[in-house]
Amino acid sequence: MKTGQGDLVYLEIVLLDSSCPVWLISRPMNVTDLSPDELRRAAAIKDQIHALATKLHRILGSTSEGASRVRKRRKMSPAARAKIAAAQRARWAKQRGTKAPKAAVKPRRKVSAAARNRLSQLAKARWAKAKAAGKKTL
């Protein structure tokens, strides 16, 4: 039996194993609605369920302590965290330092005055030919 926020109580039974389904009960109840006798009975039932789950796990070959045990997170030493941080900083520096330089912008090619004059003459000739044919576009 777990007490939640305020005066709600949650009765929970978790699935013990995928091969042995157990009814899952998770229903909020108002503690003020229960009498002391009902609370004692609920606690007794919870203890019975726990005892039966232990027996079932023994039959199936596992312990109930192992099934309900929560693994603690490993605590990392400050020295180990510092090593990891230094390695990450080194990776960032390497990445920033080895970036390929941006390609230099090529200068625009200049057309000589003679070539520009020749292109202009060719364009004028094309337009003259198009106008003679009665076209308004090339």
Q: Would the pTM count as exceeding 0.75? A: no
Confirm whether 75 is domain-assigned. Answer: no
Is residue 20 situated within a structural domain?
A: yes
Per the structure, the complete domain to which residue 40 belongs is given by 2-68
73-117 residue pLDDT tens? 889 999 999 999 999 999 998 888 865 556 677 888 899 999 999
Report DSSP letters for 27-68, one per residue.
Answer: EEEEGGGS-HHHHHHHHHHHHHHHHHHHHHHHHHT--HHHHH
> Does some domain include residue 126?
no
Residue 17 within a domain: yes
Counting the structural domains of the chain, the total is 1
Q: What is the pLDDT of residues 37-70, one digit of tens each?
A: 888 998 899 999 999 988 888 888 765 455 556 7
Report whether 81 contacts 40 (CB < 8 A): no
Tell whether 105 is covered by a domain: no
Query: Does any domain span residue 107?
Result: no
112: in domain:
no
